[in-house]
Structure 1
Amino acid sequence: MEATNETKDYRFQPDQIDWNSLSSLGIDKGRLEKLDVLDNLLKGYKTNELVPLTLKLGNAIVRMDARLSLQQNDEGKIVMAMHGIRKEPNLNFSFFGHEFTDEDKENLRRSGNMGRVVELYNQKSGEYIPSVISIDSKTKELVAFRADWMKVPEEIKGVKLNEEQKQILLEGKPLYLEGMISKKGEPFNAEVQFNADKRFIEFLFGERSTVQKKANADLGGGMEVKTETKEAKKMTRKNKNESTPKTKKVSRPKAVKM
């Protein structure tokens, strides 16, 4: 199929999908369009929202909510992957060859990001790939993203980053920034960090922030550091799936499939 202005940015095309096999899950093209998730799927991303599914297993019917993504299997066919909800991520077992330290576990449970680059083993290629690890906040699934695919903007909310700050973010670590400006022109401070699931730099507020953790320890716990304005917090909740501004538009590869 010849690419058009609407399809040339897609990683997958609708005619590559076996819609007949998906009908057993209650999924069809029209429903995905109605839910406004088909575009993200074709671009190679997971759906932003959970999608209700109905699985028919013999005489049993299982209903579940999951995020969906399109993936290419070993035979080259495009299949639908279901990312079901977990009670919590399993951090006690190896993840592509990486054994989580106590600090890794603490960081993942608090902020959702492990906070460092580690070598993950790709069974298909037999190579170790430097990657960052985060937790999908909706499903509690562990997600890895290649470090060489990470993109850091020149500026975040009006604060221009120097080379040292960029390097901190590229190493997966959190970075505290002061003097950022919200959409309504209000100044605010916050930690920022790369999230492997979202594939961009996100803001860390409240208990997710290491600044908050340190303040609680220094003050005996129970006290909150006001690192952001009310407007900034509202903005972050509303736009939590949007990347930071003034980032050059790049083609984002999908998260590492190992």
Structure 2
Amino acid sequence: MEQNTRIKKDEIPFNKLEKVGVKKDFVNHMDENELRDFLNGFRSQKLYTINATVNDQQMRIPAKLRLKKEEDGTVNVKVHPIQRLQIPEEYMGHKFTQEERNRLLAERNLGKTIELTGRDGKKDKYYLALDPKTNELVPLRTKHITVPEKIKGVTLSAEQKQKLAKGEKVYLDKMTGRNGKKFGAALQVDAANRTINFSGFKQEKELDQKQTKGKGAKQKVN
């Protein structure tokens, strides 16, 4: 796993982490996917309590952690504390419309891809969402997400795959859960967690009831 990540496990600057109050064994509590993302420079999934100076006072605050490999090869620790929820007028070269600001505040997901300018000055397509734990805007290059052919046993149509790839929300039913039961849900790329997120779950019984009511309503009209 380490050979496929930007940073190797033995390159983690544990001395720097200990300075901010994080114990060395914290990586042992990460699952394989979380550790891989962490070694690739993404934010940690969990919040860690760190040392911080706030208004000249030493405090312990919750924050996400991220590793960054500098040009000279050194690895530094970046902290992402909880922020006040607000959307800036401009972010990475993109000026938000009022509609985009409202959507981010209401849904915490922009719901589409946009062109952003990275620190290297290069423009690329990104997904954008608010981190559910820190309220921080999180950009994710579209190349980091691959929409699969199937999700929970259901084959996606070309249109559904295209919509998901664009960051739009897609509803999918007849999916199979771990318990073997069928369910439906809204799917959307989540930049903050670097995955396809499920929301608005409906169990098969609820789906069947809705379909039955729909058929009954049609019969009455006819």
TM-score greater than 0.5 by the shorter chain: yes
Alignment gaps of 5+ in structure 2: 206-222
Deviation at 1:23, TM superposition (A): 2.6
* SS in structure 1 at match of 2:94: coil
Structure 1, residues 116-172: CA drift from partner, whole Å, max 9, x if none?
A: 111101242x22211110111111110111123321011112210011111101111
Identity of aligned residues (%): 30
Query: Aligned residue for 1:112?
Result: 108
Query: Aligned residue for 1:102?
Result: 98
Q: Of Structure 1 and Structure 2, which has the larger fraction of its residues in helix? A: 2
* Separation of aligned partners in 1, 2:142 and 2:150: 20
Structure 1, residues 230-251: CA drift from partner, whole Å, max 9, x if none?
A: 99xxxxxxxxxxxxxxxxxxxx
Say which of 46, 69, 79 aligns to 2:43. 46
Say which of 10, 17, 23 aligns to 2:12. 17
Q: Of Structure 1 and Structure 2, which has the larger fraction of its residues in strand? A: 2
Deviation at 1:94, TM superposition (A): 0.6
* Separation of aligned partners in 2, 1:56 and 1:80: 16
Distance of aligned partners of 1:228 and 1:76 in 2 relative to their CA distance in 1, 3 Å threshold = same
Question: Is 1:154 the equivalent of 2:149?
Answer: yes
Query: Aligned residue for 2:64?
Result: 67
**Higher relative contact order at CA 8 Å, sep ≥6: structure 1 or structure 2?**
1
One-letter code aligned to 2:130: I
Question: Is 1:229 the equivalent of 2:187?
Answer: no
TM-score by length of 2: 0.79
Query: Aligned residue for 1:135?
Result: 130
Aligned residues: 203
Structure 1, residues 99-132: CA drift from partner, whole Å, max 9, x if none?
A: 22222223222332101111101242x2221111
* SS in structure 2 at match of 1:8: helix
Query: Aligned residue for 2:118?
Result: 122
Query: Aligned residue for 2:3?
Result: 8
Contact residue 151 and residue 200 of structure 1 kept, 8 A: no
* SS in structure 2 at match of 1:228: strand
* Separation of aligned partners in 2, 1:171 and 1:116: 5
One-letter code aligned to 1:84: P
Alignment gaps of 5+ in structure 1: 1-5, 206-226, 232-258
Contact residue 45 and residue 69 of structure 1 kept, 8 A: yes
Q: Which range is displaced more, 186-195 or 11-20? A: 11-20
Contact residue 183 and residue 204 of structure 2 kept, 8 A: no
Contact residue 24 and residue 56 of structure 1 kept, 8 A: no
* Separation of aligned partners in 1, 2:27 and 2:113: 37
Contact residue 25 and residue 56 of structure 1 kept, 8 A: no
Decide which structure has the larger Cα Rg and report it: 2
One-letter code aligned to 2:171: Y
Distance of aligned partners of 1:83 and 1:173 in 2 relative to their CA distance in 1, 3 Å threshold = same
One-letter code aligned to 2:24: K
Distance of aligned partners of 1:165 and 1:127 in 2 relative to their CA distance in 1, 3 Å threshold = same
**Considering only aligned residues, what root-mean-square deviation do their CA atoms show, in Å?**
2.7
